[in-house]
Each structure stands twice: as C-alpha cells, then as structure tokens.
Chains A and B, each alone.
Chain A
Amino acid sequence: MSFTLTCPICGPRNAYEFGYGGEDKGPRPDEKDLSPGDWCDYVHMNRCIAGESKEWWIHRSGCGIWFTTSRDTTCNLEVRGKAEEKDANPPLEKE
C-alpha cells in the first residue's frame, strides 16, 4: 500500500518514512473573537475528499521537515503541481 512522497529536501522517498499531519486547513485562526464553531471547524472538521487532497506531512524518519503536498486519496498517489510537473518532465515538443 506504500507509495512515494516527495520531500522538499530529500526528494522522492517511501511513504513509510513520513508521518501524516492532517488536511491543510490554512493558518491557525486568530483567537481574538474566535467562535466555538470556527475553532471546531479548524480542530475537528475535515473535507474527506475522495480525490485530490492537500495535506500536511512530516519527514519523520528523515530530515524532519514539515511540508504540504497533494495526494489522490483514491489511489494513494502524490499529485504534483502543474508548474513542478513541467520542470520535472518537460513535455515533448515537435521540432
């Protein structure tokens, strides 16, 4: 069931080296005037998307960095950003 995740420092590594850190819910909300509903939304609520999901990971058994990446939860494959993809695999162009 394992797959490869790309650590921003170490590059592509086996997913078992990483720890899952939850869905990317944006920055922690400001505590001033924060309603219980908004706090609950940040702490507990998930989108649970069956498809591309942006989430936090930590390279626990590696360099220790926290980073966000996108993963397709229906097949456990990392979905790399379009710009990044272009750099990694430049499209073949007709000459």
Chain B
Amino acid sequence: MKFKKKRLWGDTPTMKTAYDAVIIGGGLHGLATAYFLSRHHGMQNIAVIEKRYIGFGGAGRNTAIVRANQRTQENLPLYQEALDLWPVLTRELNFNLMFYNCGNLNLAHSEAAIKAMRMNVSAAQFSGVDIRLVDRKECKELIPALDISDKPRYPICGGMFHPAGGILRHDAVVWGLAKGAAKNGVHIFQGTEATGIDVENGRVAAVDTSRGKIRTPRVLNSAGGYSADISYRLLGIKLPISVLTIQAMVTQPLKPLLHHVISSGAYHVYANQTLKGEIATGAHMDPWPNYTTQTTGHYIKHQAEALTEFLPCLKGVKFMRHWAGLADMTPDMAPIMDGNAPVDGYYMDCGWGYFGFKSCAVTGKYMAEFMATGECPDILKPFTLKRFEEHRLMGETAALVQYSADN
C-alpha cells in the first residue's frame, strides 16, 4: 500500500499579498486565536506564520497539565473558563483532545505552606473553582504511593486538592486547532519567519516574512518564548520579560500508580502519569536568561532525588527522555495581553511563562474578540502592559520575580 502523506491542516497554501490579520507564531495561542477569529468572528482571511513547524515550541514541550488554582481574582476566572472550555472544544473541533480531569494535588510541607494554601483556596473558591484543603491522611488516600511518614527531608503536612484540573494531550490540541482553523480557511505557513513589521502613520501596514511581504491591518505577536525578542527587534517595544530555559522529562511506562497530578513547591517538582503510563515530571529553570533549550544531567539527578523522597516506589525507575523549552517570565507571573498601543493594529499575547498551555484556548477566544472588534474584552483589561508603569502589578506571587544575583 502506498503511504500517503496528508496533513490534517491540508497542503501549504499559496501566500496572498494581503490578509485581514497576520498571526506570528504557530503555537497554541496563535492557532487558537486564528481558530476563534475564523469560527466566531467571520474573519477567514488570516495567515498564521510559523518559523519552524506548528507546535515546535512550548506547545509541544509543556507537561500538559491544566488547572485553575491561581491566586488572584483577575487570573482565576480566566483559568476557570479555560478548564470549562476543553470539553466544548473537543466537540466543536470533533477531535479527541484526551482531556483527563484527574485532579491536581499540591503538597504542603510546612505550616507556612498550609497557611499560604488556605489563602489560595479561599480566593479560588470565591471565584467558583472546585478546590479544597486536604490533610495528610487524605493526601495518602488520594495517592496511596505517597510517603506521609516523617522519613522524607520535608515531611508532608497536607495539601490542596483541585479535582477539576488534570491533563490534556498537548499535540492533539495543536493538531485539532490547526485542522479546525484550516477548515475555516485560515492559511498556515510553516517554515516562515517574520522579519519585520511595517508601521505607517502609527498603524500596522504590513509584515515582512521570509516568503515575502504581506499587507495587513492587524498583527498578533504570539510567538511564545520568542515574543519579547520579536517585539524589541521588529518594533523596538521592550517588555518586562526574562526568557529562561525550563526542563522536563519522562520515565519508562509504568502500571497506573499516580491517579492525580501531584506537585510540591518545597521539592520543586511536579509529576503526572500520562495515559501511556510514563511519569512526566519537571520544573527546573535555569538561573540566567537564555534561549538554548539545553538540558542538564544535574537536573535529572535532582528530579530523581526529589521524586523518590515522597514517592519511594519510583526508586530504580529509569528516565527515558529529557527535553527543555522556553518560558517568558514576567515579574508578577501574569501574562501581557494588549493591543492598539503603542501601535494601532499591533496585538500582543506574551509573557505566559509556564502557564501558556493551560490558558491557550480561552486566551485565543478573547484575543480573537479583541482583534475582531478592536475593543479589549473586560476579562483581558487587567493584563495590559501599562500596569507595570502604573505600579499595578498582579499578586500572583508574594514577591516580585527578578532574575538577579539574589536567586
């Protein structure tokens, strides 16, 4: 039988000289925005340009965890809606996104951590998120493999359980959104780099690409880890972002033993068992900004030590693959979504750090509304770039995150 190479999102179309919108970055945020623009706003004349291939960046490198246990009233409704959107999107795209709402368990290893979680839980419950504090015994009931004795260096005191969270197949989201967008007429150009943005009289006029110039009144910068570099290089707009390499890895496949996503701030580890049986785990960020996506042996050792402290049954299990991606971190751990400032027609959706996966669909929905109407939806208003100048940073972290000599 002859093997037929057929992409879900069709063959590469012929590039037109003008589009109603150009989206830089064929990652989840770019594809989601293109999908919602074409489906809900009747804008079908859209080009998505991607320097490598769709899903090359953070879209295919994250650990596929979705949750809505953030801290602030600005962030919580957005992530809650994101959680609600997965089943809807699965039907709408007619594509199995393999959403498995197995729940997230965050471990607390000190009284102080329990107090911080109490605040988190109250804030999240206030926003209608399904979440509760659990004691040590209930942690063990949720994950019987946990060591809740006083043997580990940081014994488990309790935790925060968020049943609505879970995991999702990240590649399926990329393919589903690309397929859905292409079906609605969106043109996806892989291997196409944005090399310049032309501004005429304070308005976006065109995007220069490695395949030629595209005239357009609207551009979205959703280039993930590279969005801050693109913003400065193409438009001279500096962003409050530091780009860091973040690592993850998976073990060999095992029988089901972890029925929930588990994370621990003290050990700096999060882990989940994929539907294939591998334990996917990660969390290490480099101490200085870089774009290398290099992995380190040092971190494999750290991860093995930390995981086997509270999940001793994993001793002797082998890691099979190890990779890294880029996280564009802002000082207040909240994203920057803005548009028409300082350049009309220029929209940005960046600074997602390591929250870009769980937020992609809902962000695409609202960024599409923003781009179609030119009016910023209320839910996105707190995420403006101006907040840094106006000293209205968000309280997602207790202290400002500075990638400086102190950490």
Q: Which residues of A contact B (CB under 8 A)?
A: 1, 15, 19-22, 36-37, 40-41, 44-50, 53, 58, 60, 73-76
Q: Is the CB of A73 within 8 A of B388?
A: no
In the complex, what's the smallest C-beta–C-beta distance from A67 to chain B, in angstroms? 12
Q: Which of B209-259 contact A (CB under 8 A)?
A: 226, 228-229, 231-233, 238-243, 245
Chain B neighbourhood of A37, CB < 8 A: 389
Q: Which of B238-292 contact A (CB under 8 A)?
A: 238-243, 245, 286-292
Chain A neighbourhood of B403, CB < 8 A: 20, 22
- Interface status of B331 (Cβ within 8 A of chain A): yes
In the bound complex, CA of A1 to CA of B389 (Å): 35
Q: Is the CB of B286 within 8 A of A46?
A: no
Q: Is the CB of B242 within 8 A of A75?
A: no
Q: Is the CB of A48 within 8 A of B232?
A: yes
In the bound complex, CA of A50 to CA of B57 (Å): 15
The 8 closest A-B pairs by CB, nearest first: A19-B405, A48-B228, A44-B240, A45-B238, A20-B288, A40-B389, A50-B229, A1-B296
In the bound complex, CA of A69 to CA of B292 (Å): 18
The one of B238, B291, B292, B331 in contact with A41, judged by C-beta atoms closer than 8 angstroms, is B238
Q: Which residues of B contact A (CB under 8 A)?
A: 226, 228-229, 231-233, 238-243, 245, 286-292, 294-296, 328, 331, 388-391, 402-406
The one of B292, B391, B404 in contact with A1, judged by C-beta atoms closer than 8 angstroms, is B292
In the complex, what's the smallest C-beta–C-beta distance from B231 to chain A, in angstroms? 8
Nearest B-chain residue to A47, judged by Cβ:
B232
In the bound complex, CA of A19 to CA of B405 (Å): 4
Q: Is the CB of A20 within 8 A of B291?
A: no
Q: Is the CB of B243 within 8 A of A48?
A: yes
In the complex, what's the smallest C-beta–C-beta distance from A19 to chain B, in angstroms? 3
Q: Is the CB of B238 within 8 A of A46?
A: yes
Q: Is the CB of A46 within 8 A of B405?
A: no
In the bound complex, CA of A47 to CA of B242 (Å): 9
A sample of 18 cross-chain residue pairs with beta-carbon separation below 8 angstroms, ordered by A number, consists of A15-B288, A20-B289, A20-B404, A21-B404, A22-B403, A22-B404, A40-B240, A40-B388, A41-B238, A44-B240, A46-B240, A46-B242, A47-B238, A48-B232, A48-B289, A49-B233, A73-B290, A75-B292
Q: Is the CB of B405 within 8 A of A74?
A: no
Q: Given A41-B238, A45-B240, A47-B232, A1–B286 Cβ distance below 8 Å?
A: yes
The one of B229, B245, B286, B331 in contact with A48, judged by C-beta atoms closer than 8 angstroms, is B229
Chain B neighbourhood of A21, CB < 8 A: 404-405
Residue of A37, A46, A53, A73 ringed by the most chain B CB atoms within 10 A: A46
Chain B neighbourhood of A50, CB < 8 A: 226, 229, 243, 291
In the bound complex, CA of A40 to CA of B91 (Å): 44
In the bound complex, CA of A60 to CA of B389 (Å): 31
Q: Is the CB of B292 within 8 A of A46?
A: no
